[in-house]
A and B are shown apart, each in its own frame.
Chain A
Amino acid sequence: MPAIFINTTGTMGKIIETASNNLTGSLTLTLFLLLIVVIVIALIFRLPFDLLSVFLVPLILIFMAYQGQSFLAIGGVFLIYLAILVAKNWFIK
Chain B
Amino acid sequence: MGNLTTSLVVVLMINAFLIMGQSAITSINPQASNFLTGSKTPLYSFSQNGTLNESNINDKLPSTDSSVSVTTGNIFTDTWNAVKNWFLQSTGINYVLGILSAPYNFLKAIMLPNEFVLIIGSLWYMLTLYLIINFLKGGTD
Contacts and interface: CB of A to CB of B under 8 A. Distances in A.
B104 interface: no
A53 B135 CA distance: 34
A52 B40 CA distance: 32
**Majority SS at the chain B contact face:** helix
**Majority SS at the chain A contact face:** helix
A14 to B, nearest CB: 22
Contacts of A80: 14, 17-18, 106, 110
Contact of B21 (A61, A69, A73, A86): A61
A76 interface: yes
Contacts of B9: 87, 91-92
A49 B31 CA distance: 31
Given A64-B25, A65-B32, A86-B17, A76 B109 contact: yes
A75 B21 contact: yes
Nearest to B6: A92
A55 interface: no
Contact of A69 (B10, B16, B33): B33
Interface in A66-92: 66, 68-69, 72-73, 75-77, 79-80, 82-84, 86-87, 91-92
B44 interface: no
Given A61-B28, A64-B25, A72 B17 contact: no
Given A68-B33, A72-B111, A84 B13 contact: yes
Identify which of A65, A68, A84 gathers the most chain B CB atoms within 10 Å of its CB.
A65
Given A87-B9, A92-B9, A73 B112 contact: yes
B24 interface: yes
Interface of B: 5-6, 9-10, 13-14, 16-18, 21, 24-26, 28-29, 32-33, 35, 106-107, 109-112
Interface of A: 61-62, 64-66, 68-69, 72-73, 75-77, 79-80, 82-84, 86-87, 91-92
10 contacts: A65-B32, A69-B111, A72-B35, A73-B111, A76-B106, A76-B107, A80-B18, A83-B14, A83-B18, A84-B13
**3 smallest A-B Cβ distances: which pairs?**
A76-B110, A68-B33, A65-B25
